[in-house]
Amino acid sequence: MVDIACDVQQIDETGYVWAFRDEAKDPTMIVPGEIVVAGAEDEPVYALVVDIVGDEPDQIVHLDILPGDPSQYRTAAERAGLGRRS
């Protein structure tokens, strides 16, 4: 399940993909600087939350889509031993 649904082709005048914060699975985790899973359930992407503009409930989230397939990040993290408990 994605953290925040968006159309990765919808880019506004800022040059970033945008989404509505209130449509996030958990809006409280959508904060600037956070890495989230965004996009569509069948084609998720990783994204950096750049900023949030506007007032609730109409806040717009700007997302910087990170390169690569999400599985590449998981594979790299596993290879590096990230997330393992000692």
Fold of 4-80: Ribosomal Protein L25; Chain P (2.40.240)
The token pair that represents 9 in the structure block: 């082709």
Global confidence as pTM: 0.89
The token pair that represents 78 in the structure block: 């596993």
Can you spell out the DSSP letters for 6-62? --TT-B-TTSSEEEEGGGSSSGGG--TT-EEEEEETTEEEEEEEEEEES-TTS-EEE
Domain boundaries, the chain: 4-80
Pick the closest to residue 25 from 14, 9, 12, 39 (CA basis): 39
pLDDT in tens, 19-75: 999 999 999 999 999 999 999 999 999 999 999 999 988 999 999 999 999 889 989
3-state SS assignment for residue 69: coil
pLDDT in tens, 39-49: 999 999 999 99
